[in-house]
Chain A
Amino acid sequence: MDRLTEMIPVFGQSLQETVIMVGISLFIATIIGIPLGILIVITQGNHLFPNKVIYHTLNTLINIVRSLPFIILMVAIIPFTELVVGTSIGIEGAIVPLIVYTAPYIARLMETALLDVDRGVIEAYRAMGASRLQIITRIMLREARPGIVLCLTIATIGLIGATAMAGAVGAGGLGDLALRYGYQQWDIEVMIITVIILVVLVQVIQSLGNWAARKLKKSA
């Protein structure tokens, strides 16, 4: 038990690293993913800006990235990561692949959320003379808010899973802790505590997301 008390700062440190990695990656991936999601929706046939070329290019690109498991993606884009942040290890080295991994995921989830917005409502505002930009920003994004929150919740949880693998490039975090103590040293106690922390973290995030979505969803 004493040993575990000594370990508290280690857990704290790891949790902090995970939160930082998830936070930064989520933030940047959202900034990239939401516009991509909007783009892939509005370029579909019969939507606001039908454009087959953009739609199919984006669609294929997203599918390609989404078909790679994170650990493979991370290794595969090392040259790109080094180009962007100058290193492929540590937190910086992990954040780039985390973003590349998550942004298309968010785009795909955004697509579902935005396609859920009633086409009739979009048509109504087109008929009233609203501009397409107004329809995107003031109608679609607003009506899709509950769906967007749930989409970001799922993306966050996915990111936590991916950060665990980032331990492999020495980025630290809870996954790294579990790898080092649990796998390499067969330290069951640390392993169990890591698992508990991860489970609680995911539960809290999912519950928060559900609560926020419910709050936003005023419709029946």
Chain B
Amino acid sequence: MIQLTDIHKSYKVGNKQVEALKGVSLNVEKGQIYGVIGFSGAGKSTLLRTINLLEKPTSGSVIVNGQDMLSLKEKELRQARKKIGIIFQHFNLLSSYNVFDNVAEILRMNRVPKDVIKQKVEDLLRLVGLADKANAYPSQLSGGQKQRVGIARALATDPEILLCDEATSALDPQTTESILELLLDINKKFSLTIVLITHEMQVIKKICDHVAIMENGHVIEQGSVLDVFSNPQQPTTRNFIKTIFDDEVPAEILARIKKTGPSANILRVAFRGDAALDPVLGTLSARFPVSTNLLYGSITSIKGTALGILLLHISGEQQAVQDGIAFLRQSVYNVEIVTREEVTR
């Protein structure tokens, strides 16, 4: 649905050249909810804006729905943009229009017949749960309600893609949840492809299928949300995941465990799906002469698949510990030895 290939973007700020994107490639499939996460300044907002060419990349190719966006003329580009909805962190509603008109205005611009507009706007307001607010002005709405108007407006032109630019960042956690539910709902209902950028891992965890982590103008890691969560590779990715699983071992405890001998290990064990329900630890203690001590444990669900993370302190004879770890590796999704070498994550 969306193919970004080797996107570079540089700006001139004063007389300094700033490179916001340094060769980013993404591939978003139809119906997918694709999340891009990164700290501010990572380039994610610029990246999102290259999809509808609000930002024109310095080099690279932007293919949306089979169309090479960079080859389009002004008029064709406007046509293509109508198939790409967008919602914003600060909603960007028209303060002088009421809710109905905020959704209707773009349709009027597109010369849609009046009765069609009326029907369509009413349907959309019902979809986002604001049927009773048609005559209210944005200043009379809460943040969550404003974003619902934003969503209804974005859907007015029947887009195939919805871009979300930090759409929940200005909202409280509860409102964020309800907006994410709504996005999931319309994703299913219209098989709408959604690309969202955020700095909150909760958002990625709750609705995304696929995630890309951006840092310093690069995508440093990407994959299915489940894979990235169960086996993160990059320090930044781990930092983000820490907001969901805070499985860091305090330094002094780590040091004390290291002192108990070379065969004492701390393992980070990731379980996925049904394995999360198997009594693996019981089997481990029964079959191997090792003692295990649970330091941390958490389980969460990522789009219907269970993901559990355990931190285990395992000790015993060196051979037994090695065998035990080998057994775990066969039984669970991923085992990582935390105590090996400099572990500072």
Contacts and interface: CB of A to CB of B under 8 A. Distances in A.
Contact of A131 (B78, B80, B105): B78
Contacts of A145: 96
Given A128-B106, A143-B96, A120 B139 contact: no
A124 B92 contact: yes
Given A129-B82, A219-B139, A142 B90 contact: no
B96 A127 contact: no
Contact of A219 (B77, B110, B137, B157): B137
B21 interface: no
Given A138-B105, A218-B139, A219-B138, A128 B92 contact: no
Nearest to A130: B109
Contacts of A216: 96
A89 interface: no
Contacts of B77: 129
Contacts of B88: 120, 124
Given A139-B94, A142-B94, A220-B139, A127 B105 contact: no
A123 interface: yes
B324 interface: no
A125 interface: yes
A120 B90 contact: yes
Contact of B95 (A128, A129, A130, A218): A218
Interface residues of B, number: 31
A217 B94 CA distance: 11
A143 B86 contact: no
Interface in A100-151: 118, 120-121, 123-131, 134, 138-139, 142-143, 145
Nearest to A142: B96
Given A130-B106, A218-B96, A124 B137 contact: no
B79 A118 contact: no
Contacts of B96: 142-143, 145, 216-219
B92 A218 contact: no
A60 B138 CA distance: 39
Contacts of B109: 125, 130-131, 134, 138
A126 B78 CA distance: 8
Contact of A218 (B80, B90, B137, B154): B137
Given A120-B90, A120-B92, A219-B95, A128 B82 contact: yes
Contacts of A219: 95-96, 137-139
B143 interface: no
A59 to B, nearest CB: 21
A116 B82 CA distance: 26
A114 to B, nearest CB: 14
B54 A126 contact: yes
A82 to B, nearest CB: 44
B61 interface: no
Nearest to A135: B109
B84 interface: yes
B94 A121 contact: yes
Nearest to B154: A128
Interface string A184-220: 0000000000000000000000000000000011111
Nearest to B54: A127
A143 B92 CA distance: 12
Given A123-B92, A130-B78, A217-B95, 11 more contacts: A127-B81, A128-B86, A128-B153, A129-B82, A129-B157, A131-B78, A143-B96, A218-B95, A218-B98, A218-B137, A220-B139
5 contacts: A124-B92, A128-B106, A129-B79, A216-B96, A218-B96
Interface of B: 52, 54, 77-82, 84-86, 88, 90, 92-98, 105-106, 109-110, 137-139, 153-154, 157, 163
The 10 closest A-B pairs by CB, nearest first: A219-B95, A129-B81, A220-B139, A120-B92, A124-B92, A129-B82, A129-B78, A219-B139, A218-B137, A127-B86
